[in-house]
């Protein structure tokens, strides 16, 4: 099940969050590397990618590279997908 992801002030950030639980077991460094590779290669479009996009967007906003979370999301998506 998933639902719209909202910021702390209730604004939608245009992403969905999954209620799937990650990390229910130990993941090896090689498995983590595979997940990262699949996100950057564009083959993993799951909520794991969404988490990476939202974190990158927030980093762009904090660093002053994006004026808003919406702009940060677009920049993050285009950067990850390039």
Distance (Å, whole) CA 52 – CA 79: 11
Q: Read off the pLDDT of residues 40-79 as tens digits, 9 standing for 90 and up.
A: 999 998 888 888 998 999 999 999 999 998 899 999 999 9
C-beta separation of 53 from 73 below 8 A:
yes
Residue 47 contacts by C-beta under 8 Å, 6 or more apart in sequence? 2, 16, 17, 18, 20
| Residue 17 scores a pLDDT above 70 | no
What pLDDT is stored for residue 46 in this prediction? 85
Query: CB count, 10 Å around CB of 14?
Result: 14
Cβ–Cβ under 8 Å, residues 75 and 66: yes
């Amino acid at each position: 099940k998933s639902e719209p992801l909202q910021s702390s002030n209730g604004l939608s950030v245009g992403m969905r969050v999954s209620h799937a639980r990650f990390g229910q077991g130990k993941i090896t460094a090689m498995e983590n590397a595979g997940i990262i590779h699949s996100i950057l290669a564009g083959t993993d479009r799951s909520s794991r990618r969404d988490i990476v996009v939202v974190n990158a967007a927030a980093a762009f906003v904090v660093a002053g590279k994006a004026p808003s979370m919406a702009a940060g999301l677009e920049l993050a998506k285009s950067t990850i997908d390039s």
